[in-house]
């Protein structure tokens, strides 16, 4: 489902892949059954390629990884959380256009 520059985040690897990353990481909390999640997935794949080396994209399936979703109080999906130096710095809830998502990436790249 994810593009080549998109990593799969899980409850097991979240601390290493996201919090331990030296590159800002946008985490997409999603689920297979979520229509808006499927709408933004190709946009996130494109942005992951455009921002390669500057911003990472990780996808976390909330159904398969409930602990991490609960830790960040994810109540609605898609939710995008942006982590920089291990800290949560930005949040976006809901689907958005590519220009809006690009603006989110620009704030941390």
Active site residues: 34, 37
Task: Please say whether the dihedral angle defined by the alpha carbons of residues 59, 21, 3 and 106, taken in this order, is positive or negative.
Answer: positive
CA 31/CA 13 separation, integer angstroms: 18
Which residues of the chain form beta strands (DSSP E)? 6-8, 25-30, 56-61, 79-84, 87-93
């Amino acid at each position: 489902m994810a593009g080549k520059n998109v990593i799969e985040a899980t409850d097991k690897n979240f601390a290493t892949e996201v919090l331990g990353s030296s590159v800002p990481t946008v985490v997409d909390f999603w689920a297979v059954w979520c229509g808006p999640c499927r709408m933004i997935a190709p946009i996130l794949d494109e942005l992951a390629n455009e921002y390669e080396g500057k911003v990472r994209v990780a996808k976390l399936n909330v159904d398969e990884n409930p602990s991490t979703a609960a830790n960040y109080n994810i109540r609605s999906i898609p939710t995008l959380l942006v982590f920089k130096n291990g800290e949560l710095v930005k949040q976006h809830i809901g689907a958005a256009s590519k220009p809006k998502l690009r603006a989110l990436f620009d704030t941390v790249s």
